[in-house]
Amino acid sequence: MGKLTVPHGPCAVLRALLKWSFPTRSLVHRNVLVWVPCLWGSMLLPLLRILLVGIAVAGCATNPYTHRHQLELVPASQEQAMGLQAYTQVLHDPKVQISHDPREVEPVERVAARIIEAAKVSMYAETAKQFEWQVSVIKDDKTQNAFALPGGKIAVYTGIFSVAQNEAGLAAILGHEVTHALARHGGERMSQGLVAQGAVVAATLGAASQGINPQIAQLAGGALAHYGFILPYSRNHESEADYIGLLLAADAGYDPHEALHVWERMEQMSQSQPPQFLSTHPSHGTRITQIEQWMPEAMSHYHPRPGTTAADLPRLSTVH
């Protein structure tokens, strides 16, 4: 029950598509029946096959922790450039106040440094060493958020302190966010969007050739792509970040049990959530259950180190 297991990703679907040899086929992916119009005998099928071959050969990678196939059509350099641009825009937003209070900045920098250190000896060591890491603390007690962008650009809003409560809790959060950047989840989402758009276009053209209203096919194809492909894989990204982030925090010397407390507090603070099948994130209850299952493996990574503390974070001036 320990290691995270996720279904094969879009690369497996693409490989299955490449094997088609009949005019009409249906494909079941994540319990969603996807109807693909007949393209046999038309100019669309050869072009589509060429496109899929290129994607399957050049755009597929494997996550070193979960062995999940990942679709990577966006170059890492472009992804990191976009991350830097987004980070710069956030920090230069006139509404954003950068904290220089040592009580807020020092614990964040200390936890981030240890997570980064753990990342540099993890299965993502090569990527972590290439990132130009930067950490900023944003003074906003009402925003419970933190993020890490491609290239290693980290921002922590002071509002997340009430959820993390201590440095071990913050390590669980930053381990999660740093994993998104290391695992290239942002670029994968963009790649999935490109494939989903292409599939909807192909379905629309195929439907038109069969006398089906293209608008109906486009709406149906778009819904299937969104709920059966994009959202589930976004949930996979979140679970993957929870799992690997838990291991990174443990490798950094922080007790992984604190991750459970973080999500328990998050669940208590959340007023409402959409149904899980309509959400890009797993439910809080699902996350807590998964973390409990991964805990034995995380504890095998946990070795407290001298100087690694779980000191409380600053109290917020605004109570939510």
Residues annotated catalytic, as ranges: 177
Q: What tokens were used for 149?
A: 């962008």
Q: Where does residue 272 fall: left (phi above 0), alpha (psi -120 to 50 degrees), or beta otherwise?
A: beta
The token pair that represents 58 in the structure block: 């050049």
**Coil vs helix vs strand at 118:** helix
- At 128, is the secondary structure helix, strand, or coil? helix
Amino acid at position 208, single letter: A
* CA pair distance 190, 59, nearest whole angstrom: 12
With a CB cutoff of 8 Å and minimum separation 6, the contacts of 126 are: none
Q: What is the DSSP string of 260-291?
A: HHHHHHHHHH------GGG-SS--HHHHHHHH
CA gap 225, 34 in Å, rounded: 9
Take residue 158 and report the two structure tokens written for it: 């002071």
Residue type for position 127:
T
Question: In the structure encoding, which two tokens stand for residue 157, read together?
Answer: 């809003």
Task: Identify whether the C-beta of residue 254 lies closer than 8 Å to the C-beta of residue 167.
Answer: yes
CA atoms within 13 A on the CB side of 318: 10
Residue 226 corresponds to which amino acid? H
Longest dimension (CA), the chain: 71
